[in-house]
Amino acid sequence: MRLNSGKRLAAVLAIGLSAVILAMYVSVTNGTFDITAADVIRTLLRIDPVPEHDLVILEFRLPRIVIAALVGIGLGVAGAVIQGITRNGLADPGILGINAGAGTAIVLFMFFLQGQLKGAGWLAVMTMPLFGLAGGLGAAALIYAFSWKNGRLDPQRLILTGIAIGTGLGAVSLYLTLKMKSTDFEMATVWLTGSIWNANWQYIAAIMPWLVIGVPLIWSRSRILDLFQLEEGSVISLGVSAEKEKALLLIASVGIVSACVSVSGGIGFIGLMSPHIAKRLVGLQHRHIIPVCGMVGMLLLVVSDLIAKTVFAPAEVPVGIVVALIGVPYFVYLLYKAKA
């Protein structure tokens, strides 16, 4: 049985990654300025480089594709953790208010500090995830405090509190954007809806440390997430320090989500859909679910970004809107299924 599940995981990952590579190929070669696969290979291998190809591939398209892939991985894995801790299939980082907390902190950064750090280059880019982390951790701490009941974390209160705090922080973000200059307001509004159109290599460098540390840490706690599907008393009787492990997993998830929000804005539903799709594909063991969640999140966001920049051409819509158009019907389906 274990061998069969391992083979199934390998097959799912191979097929999923092949689909991701195909989507990346279509995305890098198609657009306002079409480029052949041979041109892409020559550009990447630095064989007779052409300045126009360098600009389009290395400065515009490739960073955007890489950011979409990394953010998809982060949001997918974080969604698996949130649903595992709460034992609720309708939970995700956006519903719990983590996105809103990170987003509010970054809007504060854009409102007060971004103009002062514009000439700082890397400093400004690397500071944004730190503000996002602070906002995400602050929102998580509030939600955690209000969800504490009878000496333990109540999963249902966690969701309800997250929705309430997320709504309040969203109102704060909106108020701050209305106080911005017209150009900054437009940028902030597009960013809040979820957008990766201005991705660059600095953003990739800013998000990578959080994924490199957070995702392996979460995967190493796969067995703990499996145990959290049991009743609280059963988990404690097995010798697991439940509240300590929940706090560690939540901090890792908040760090990942905050870094993702800092470079892509508030993209929802990836963390909701990925765990459900992963469970259908590879079962209920989190050591299988977590890598598949990352792969599914990556595929969803890369394909959504491809749709956002090609289907509506010459206009372009934020990728968060495309994800929402896919995610809302799926969310309604999950609600209907849960009710049934």
Domains in the chain, please, with CATH?
Answer: 73-339 (1.10.3470.10)
The yes-or-no verdict on residue 69 having pLDDT over 60 is: yes
pLDDT at position 1 is 42
**DSSP secondary structure letter of residue 119:** G
Closest CA to 300 of 290, 292, 289: 292
pLDDT at position 214 is 94
- CB burial of residue 313 (10 Å; 0-12, 13-18, 19+): exposed
- Average pLDDT for 102-120: 72
The yes-or-no verdict on residue 281 having pLDDT over 70 is: yes
% of the chain exceeding 90 in pLDDT = 31
Measured distance CA(170)–CA(106) in Å, rounded: 12
- Average pLDDT for 36-57: 88
Which residue, chain included where needed, has tokens 């500090």? 113
Measured distance CA(74)–CA(222) in Å, rounded: 16
% of the chain exceeding 70 in pLDDT = 94
Q: What does the longest C-alpha to C-alpha distance in the chain come to?
A: 68
Distances (CA, A) of 331 to 61, 89, 265, 276: 31, 10, 20, 11
pLDDT at position 268 is 84
In this structure, of 44-58, 98-112, 186-200, 276-290, the range with the lowest mean pLDDT score is: 186-200
Dihedral over alpha carbons 145, 151, 155, 156 (to 10 degrees):
-80
pLDDT at position 255 is 87
- Pick the residue with more confidence: 22 or 201? 22
N-terminal to C-terminal alpha carbon distance within the chain: 31
Tokens at 328, concatenated: 């809302």
Highest mean pLDDT among 47-51, 250-254, 298-302: 298-302
> Tens of pLDDT along 140-173?
888 878 887 777 777 778 778 888 888 898 889 8
Query: Could you give phi then psi for residue 121, rounded to 5 degrees?
Result: 60, -110
Which contiguous run of DSSP H or E holds residue 152?
A: strand 152-153
List of residues 6+ apart from 225 with CB closer than 8 A: 80, 81, 84, 85, 249, 286
- Across the strands, what pairs with 149? 152
- Across the strands, what pairs with 153? 148
285 in Cβ contact with 5 (< 8 Å): yes
The yes-or-no verdict on residue 204 having pLDDT over 50 is: yes
Measured distance CA(271)–CA(174) in Å, rounded: 23
Measured distance CA(132)–CA(138) in Å, rounded: 10
Average pLDDT, the chain: 85
- Across the strands, what pairs with 148? 153
- Average pLDDT for 43-59: 87
pLDDT at position 115 is 56
pLDDT at position 287 is 94
pLDDT at position 73 is 96
pLDDT at position 340 is 56
Closest CA to 206 of 93, 69, 67: 67
- Pick the residue with more confidence: 47 or 211? 211
The yes-or-no verdict on residue 338 having pLDDT over 70 is: no
pLDDT at position 249 is 92
Closest CA to 78 of 237, 282, 296, 285: 296
